[in-house]
Amino acid sequence: MLRLRTFLQQHCDNAELIDVIDQLAVTCKDIAHQLTLGDLAGILGSAEQENVQGECQKKLDVIANDLLKDSLAALPAVRGIASEEEPDPVACNENGAYLVLFDPLDGSSNIDINVTVGTIFSILAAPEGSHGSDEAAYLQPGNQQVAAGYVLYGPSTIMMLTTGNGVYSFTLDTRMGEFLLMKENIQVPAATAEFAINMSNQRFWLPAMQQYVDDLLKGETGPLGKRYNMRWVAAMVAEIHRILTRGGIFLYPFDNRDPAKPGKLRLMYEANPMSMLMEQAGGRCSTASEAIMAIQPQGIHQRVSVVMGSAEEVSIVEQYHH
């Protein structure tokens, strides 16, 4: 089994990009260790402050963000970083080739109940002449990402990674402290009978989405003609990992609760990196009306509705909305 860095050296001819991905992996090992200790390390509970999103931060949100920010800032290849927990981009190294965006701890509301959480990351080429603190440098469509991935902290710690040539899975061997290659060229089944959505928001969805989910629940007697299972973990990393493992569809659609927040998930460091992974694995990603990775971002914390997973099912959702 190949170690992550050895794999990257065999599949990527850019030494600086290898350094960035390797540094992300090293830092995520630290986060995994903190999670393993849990309350023994005093990391559970609220940090008693809000982030730029207006969300109450958990202690480990802050810890994970600081670990990633400090480790990436020390890397010459990183020009700047943008995080869910930072109001503005942070400049790192003037001559760095890459910008790194991340959600340091996706699903952090699950920490205190010991349920799966994860780290999501997106890597972009830094535009020539740009500064790491300049928001405009980061506002690139998802189809310009050079690499994307996530680390899932569950019963085992797993990294899913793409550099634009397929999706690969690595498992952290805690005995040797290394991510080892376990699966190559992961593919998502085109059809599925499993969906993930927060049903408590149904009354706020657009009529087309309400009709689609109603038809899912009718099963084999409804217009879709098959019985569906529903799953919901309340962590995007866990939902997408399940789909990359066995297929399915994940939906966090537009709702009308707050006109200023037409979507729940952030485009730049949640929807875009997950879309790159999903499409590299043969799945599809959409807002229900347009391709996620074709969107021209307007801000680093921009929100977007998300429909992603097995290609045939995403197409069905788009048909309802069209």
Binding site feature residues for Mg(2+): 84, 103, 105-106, 270
Binding residues, by number, are: 84, 103, 105-109, 198, 264, 270
Please give the helix or strand (H or E) that residue 249 lies within, else none: strand 249-252
**Closest by CA position to 89, among listed 272, 301, 264:** 301
Length of the chain in residues, anyone? 322
- State how far the Cα of 19 lies from the Cα of 134, in Å rounded to an integer: 23
Binding residues for substrate, by number, are: 106-109, 198, 264
Long-range contacts (CB closer than 8 Å, 24 or more residues apart) made by 157-161: 157/28, 157/29, 157/32, 158/182, 158/241, 159/4, 159/25, 159/28, 160/186, 160/241, 160/244, 160/277, 161/21
- State how far the Cα of 65 lies from the Cα of 82, in Å rounded to an integer: 10
User: Do 128 and 134 meet the contact criterion of CB atoms below 8 Å apart?
Assistant: no
User: Do 295 and 190 meet the contact criterion of CB atoms below 8 Å apart?
Assistant: no
- The letter for the amino acid at 211 is Q
Residue 203 per-residue DSSP state: G
The sheet with strand 194-196 has its strands ordered as 229-231, 194-196, 249-252, 306-309, 284-286
Q: How far is CA 236 from CA 41, 52, 303, in A?
A: 25, 19, 14
Q: How many CB atoms lie within 10 A of CB 150?
A: 27
Six token digits for residue 212: 């689609």
DSSP-assigned beta bridge partners for residue 197: none
- State how far the Cα of 308 lies from the Cα of 257, in Å rounded to an integer: 22
**End-to-end CA, the chain:** 46
